[in-house]
Amino acid sequence: MKKLFLIDFLWIGLAILAGLVWSQHDQNEYASQLDHLGMSEMAQEYVTSSSRSVTKAVAELEKTDFSGYQVQFVTKQLVYVYQRGSVASLPVESGQWFSTGDFASSLPVAVVGHDLADKLYTGNNQRYLSVNGQYIPVLGTVGTRKGSPLNKAVFLNASPNMANEGLTLKHVKIYVDGANQHSKTLKTILRASRVHRVHFSDNDAATWWRTYGQTALFCGLLLMGAGLLSLLMVTMIGPLQTSGLEINMRARYLRGVLSSCASHVGISLFLGGLFANWWFYFTTRTNIWSFLVILTIATTVFLRYLIRRKDRTSATT
């Protein structure tokens, strides 16, 4: 079995390639999320024709006991944000994002995309944005790659204590991210007639292929690579010493061979996974570790088949 240590490096390399594939997937997914102003593909749109004010809706949201979600009330020019707890953050280039206190304040503050930074007014070391004739303090700027809608966005804090009765629910698009389990309660608060997954305008075939198709293709190639390495492993262990063994001893011997091979695979993939997690960028590490576990299980099953087939072949010869 010492020969197997030579192939362990190939298994480690395979795990590192898997890390590269899933890292690229996460980067593409995050870039898409930024283009949608931080809303993930699990976000829901609440459709309503209610004349209820956004302020009153936020006041009821404030009374709930669930957290870890964000609501965006989107007009043509502005995005009013209400947030409870920690959610996925946007890339802040300068200043800061809204604080918990901003969502309870009676004073409006803004966070703007970096393309609007040159249009801000400065006074007393504070930047201001002109919105409907009112100068609103700017907390910070956010931005990402060139051409993203995020770079031109204007976010304002939504608060139950803000005098903004003129803005009603029927005048905005309502997106909620991170609270799908509370959709029944939210539907009542937001006076929504229906709720559906957000259908972003750029979710065409090319976008699906970039986000999911390429990852699926490369994962398929990695599985094929694991199959080839499995064939190489079974070849390198040499002839099976099962001649003359009674059936129970034979089965025990084959299990030992399989256990040794599977241990090499599992340990090597684990070490490669550790390196990949240290070296590459991931928004979530669940995907890469889940794939490596699936890869280990699939390889073990295939090794079992190959070892048994090799044993049957040697028996007939």
Strand-strand pairing, 126-131 and 121-123: antiparallel
**φ/ψ (deg, to 5) at 53:** -75, 150
Lowest-pLDDT range, 50-64, 124-138, 158-172, 287-301? 158-172
Q: Distance of CA 232 to CAs 2, 7, 236, 264, Å?
A: 14, 8, 6, 13
Torsion of CA 235, 236, 238, 240, to 10 degrees: -70
Tokens found for residue 46:
């609440």
Give the global pTM: 0.63
In sequence order, what DSSP letters do the residues of 204-244 get, joined into one string? SHHHHIIIIIHHHHHHHHHHHHHHHHHHHHHHHT-S---TT
**φ/ψ (deg, to 5) at 134:** -110, 135
Arithmetic mean of pLDDT, 285-313:
94
Tokens found for residue 211:
């986000």
Arithmetic mean of pLDDT, 107-131:
90
Is pLDDT of 73 > 70?
yes
Looking at residue 206, its pLDDT comes to 46
Looking at residue 203, its pLDDT comes to 46
Arithmetic mean of pLDDT, 226-234:
95
Is pLDDT of 31 > 70?
no
Lowest-pLDDT range, 36-40, 49-53, 133-137? 36-40
Q: Identity (one letter) of the amino acid at 85?
A: G
Contact 272, 12 (CB under 8 A): yes
List strand residue ranges (DSSP E) for 132-200, in order: 134-142, 154-157, 173-177, 194-197
Looking at residue 315, its pLDDT comes to 65
Question: Residue 248 contacts by C-beta under 8 Å, 6 or more apart in sequence?
Answer: none
For the chain, the average pLDDT equals 87
Q: Which helix (H) or strand (E) holds 306?
A: helix 286-316
Closest C-alpha among 74, 29, 50, 96 to residue 176? 74
Percent of the chain with pLDDT over 70: 91
Arithmetic mean of pLDDT, 232-247:
85
Task: Determine the Cα–Cα distance for residues 231 and 167; give it in Å rounded to an integer.
Answer: 66
Arithmetic mean of pLDDT, 68-75:
93
Task: Determine the Cα–Cα distance for residues 140 and 287; give it in Å rounded to an integer.
Answer: 32
**φ/ψ (deg, to 5) at 126:** -130, 135
pLDDT in tens, 155-193: 999 998 877 667 899 999 999 999 999 999 999 999 999
Looking at residue 220, its pLDDT comes to 94
Looking at residue 204, its pLDDT comes to 44
Looking at residue 48, its pLDDT comes to 94
Is pLDDT of 97 > 50?
yes
- CA-based diameter of the chain, in Å? 94
Q: Report the DSSP beta bridge partners of residue 46.
A: 174, 195
Arithmetic mean of pLDDT, 103-128:
90
pLDDT in tens, 200-223: 655 444 455 656 788 899 999 999
Task: Determine the Cα–Cα distance for residues 284 and 154; give it in Å rounded to an integer.
Answer: 28
Looking at residue 305, its pLDDT comes to 95
Looking at residue 33, its pLDDT comes to 64
